[in-house]
């Protein structure tokens, strides 16, 4: 009997971390564990304040048949660049050590976290272990950091981009989460050979998150508990991070202080949470509320507590990142207020599905008008808008669709899948011949 091909995932966040990539990679590896021998190398869970008491530098355990190697890392303060650098450097060093210790790896699977260095782990691993490498890019860096002026040191951006281009070129397959990101990859290699790549959308579990009415007992209790009964709830649920312009978008709430039936609810954690909380206190904004991440099993209720969901990105993020929260919102059948650049992946999804409206980033008055427009709609019309998103997701963006594409890619790169059975992958022949 032939042995299963071994895939080693080096992915930073993994169950029980609450990060979006943790939930995606946990579901992915769980669904692939019968096809491959899987090892996951990840940090100990700390993304949203999860406690982990182990003092071991490396700790092994299992999630079903998946071997999980946990790395002990220093505490990270997301508001401190020094703290972030210390955390990322420790992860890079220890993840490389953990990967080199793994025997019999056929394919190394890395993601673009931490920025650039996530891919470099795969590049180094491929060189030293003679394995193949799949590089899954969820965020292009340094383009993302450059868009928000994370540093003014242009030399850093230039070096980082050169390293990440090397990661892409040396990988056997680059995975991207949006068509606009494929354009960015091709733009990196103008007049040069574009790395073999595949676009695979992120997903949510459309069976776990379904449209529910507000009179559902758990939702009604949630609304009552947080003073949201009979309110028009504009919700942002997810990472309160650096790349969404939330520190400026929060100012929109100030224009609704005389409309007490409209409430803004932010659910999640992240680098700018404290800043936007301080703004609401300083301006006495009683129409803004904050909650921590909700348990995964409660998402179907919390997402359905909204009347409209904010799905946003900072200006300059088009083709660089895709906010994965869109899939949960569409699964819940809720209307979307997108603050997104024209031509971006999520703008396209909203336009094609008819699930909401889109305003250009930094057009804050446009956001005000859009909220007033959505709030003025007949409830049946608003509900229909949200259900269009659900119908589009069921037709085009199911979890099985995306995971089957991952399976195809992994089987081709690992050499267990015939070329003609996987027509979705670009440039397979070259990838297979490199084996």
- Report pLDDT for 54: 66
Once rounded to an integer, what is the mean pLDDT over residues 19-38?
94
Q: Can you give the pLDDT at residue 432?
A: 35
Residue 303 pLDDT greater than 50, yes or no: yes
On the question of a common fold for 6-203+398-433 and 217-396, the answer reads yes
Of residues 17 and 208, the one with the higher pLDDT is 208
DSSP string, 394-418: HHH--HHHHHHHHHHHHHHHHT-S-
pLDDT band of residue 134 (cuts 50, 70, 90) is very high
Which superfamily, per CATH, for 6-203+398-433? Glycogen Phosphorylase B; (3.40.50.2000)
Q: Which of 15-24, 116-125, 363-372 has the lowest mean pLDDT?
A: 15-24
Tell me the percentage of the chain whose pLDDT exceeds 70: 92
Q: Does 168 have pLDDT greater than 80?
A: yes
Given the candidates 3.40.50.2000, 3.40.50.300, 1.10.10.10, 3.60.10.10, the CATH classification of the domain at 217-396 is 3.40.50.2000
State the pLDDT at residue 175.
98
Residue 431 has pLDDT above 80, yes or no: no
HEC sequence for 15-27:
CCCCCHHHHHHHH
Rounded to two decimals, what is the model's pTM?
0.90
- Rounded to an integer, the average pLDDT of 97-101 is 97
Give the orientation angle of helix 345-353 with respect to helix 379-396, to 10 degrees: 120
Residue 135 phi, psi dihedral angles, 5° rounding? -110, 110
How does the average pLDDT of the chain come out, rounded? 91
Which run of H or of E encompasses 39?
Answer: strand 37-43
Average pLDDT on 368-375 reads 98
pLDDT tens for 387-420 read: 999 999 999 999 999 999 999 999 999 997 544 3
Please state which of the ranges 26-30, 52-56, 209-213, 322-326 shows the lowest mean pLDDT: 52-56
Give mean pLDDT, residues 117-127: 97
For residue 332, what are its two tokens?
């819940």
For residue 39, pLDDT beyond 70 = yes
CB atoms within 10 A of CB 62: 8
Confidence of residue 434 (pLDDT cuts 50, 70, 90): very low
Asked whether the predicted pLDDT for residue 263 surpasses 90, the reply is yes
pLDDT confidence band for 207 (50 / 70 / 90): very high
pLDDT recorded at residue 414:
95
- At 17, is the pLDDT very low, low, confident or very high (cuts 50, 70, 90)? confident
Q: Per-residue DSSP letters for 328-382?
A: HHHHTT--EEEE--TTSHHHHHHHHHT-EEEE-TT-HHHHHHHHHHHHHS-HHHH
Look at residue 12 and tell me whether its pLDDT is greater than 70: yes
Q: What is the pLDDT of residue 417?
A: 59
pLDDT confidence band for 164 (50 / 70 / 90): very high
- Per-residue pLDDT averaged across 373-392, rounded? 97
Residue 232, strand partner residues: 262
Mean pLDDT of 242-247: 92
pLDDT score recorded for residue 152: 72
Mean pLDDT to the nearest integer, 353-370: 98
The CA distance from 263 to 32, in Å, is 42
- pLDDT level of residue 343 (50, 70, 90 thresholds): very high
Please tell me the predicted confidence (pLDDT) of residue 119.
97
**Domain spans of the chain, in order of start:** 6-203+398-433, 217-396
Average pLDDT over residues 53-63: 86
Q: How does pLDDT run across 245-259, given as a tens digit for each residue? A: 999 999 999 999 999
């Amino acid at each position: 009997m032939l042995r299963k091909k071994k895939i080693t995932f080096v992915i930073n966040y993994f169950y029980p971390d609450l990060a979006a990539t943790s939930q995606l990679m946990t579901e992915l590896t769980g669904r692939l564990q019968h096809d491959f021998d899987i090892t996951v190398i990840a940090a100990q869970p700390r993304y949203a304040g999860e406690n982990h008491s182990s003092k071991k530098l490396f700790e092994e355990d299992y999630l079903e048949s998946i071997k999980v190697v946990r790395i002990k890392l220093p505490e990270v303060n997301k508001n401190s660049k020094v703290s972030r650098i210390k955390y990322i450097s420790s992860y890079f060093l220890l993840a490389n050590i953990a990967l080199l210790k793994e025997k019999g790896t056929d394919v190394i699977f890395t993601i673009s976290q931490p920025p650039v260095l996530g891919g470099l782990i795969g590049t180094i691993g491929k060189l030293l272990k003679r394995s193949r490498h799949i590089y899954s890019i969820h965020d292009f860096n340094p383009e993302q950091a450059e868009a928000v002026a994370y540093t003014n040191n242009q030399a850093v951006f230039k070096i980082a981009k050169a390293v990440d281009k090397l990661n892409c070129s040396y990988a056997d397959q680059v995975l991207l989460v949006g068509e606009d990101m494929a354009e960015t990859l091709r733009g990196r290699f103008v007049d040069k050979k574009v790395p073999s790549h595949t676009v695979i959308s992120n997903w949510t579990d459309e069976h776990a998150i379904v449209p529910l009415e507000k009179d559902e007992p758990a939702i009604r209790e949630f609304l009552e508990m947080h003073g949201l009964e009979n309110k028009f709830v504009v919700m942002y649920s997810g990472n309160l991070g650096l790349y969404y312009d939330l520190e400026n978008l929060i100012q929109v709430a100030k224009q609704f202080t005389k409309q007490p039936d409209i409430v803004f609810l932010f659910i999640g954690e992240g680098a700018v949470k404290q800043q936007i909380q301080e703004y609401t206190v300083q301006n006495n904004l009683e129409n803004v509320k904050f909650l921590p991440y909700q348990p995964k099993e409660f998402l179907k209720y919390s997402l359905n507590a909204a009347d409209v969901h904010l799905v946003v990105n900072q200006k300059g993020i088009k083709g660089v990142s895709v906010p994965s929260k869109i899939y949960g919102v569409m699964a819940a059948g809720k209307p979307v207020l997108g603050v997104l650049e024209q031509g971006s992946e999520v703008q396209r999804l909203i336009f094609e599905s008819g699930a909401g409206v889109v305003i250009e980033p930094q057009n804050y008055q446009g956001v005000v008008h859009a909220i007033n427009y959505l709030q003025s709609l007949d409830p049946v019309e608003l509900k229909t808008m949200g259900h269009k998103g659900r119908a589009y997701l069921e037709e085009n963006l199911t979890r099985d669709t995306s995971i089957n594409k991952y399976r195809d890619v992994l089987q081709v790169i690992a050499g267990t899948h015939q070329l003609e059975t996987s027509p979705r992958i670009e440039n397979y022949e070259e990838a297979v011949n490199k084996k």
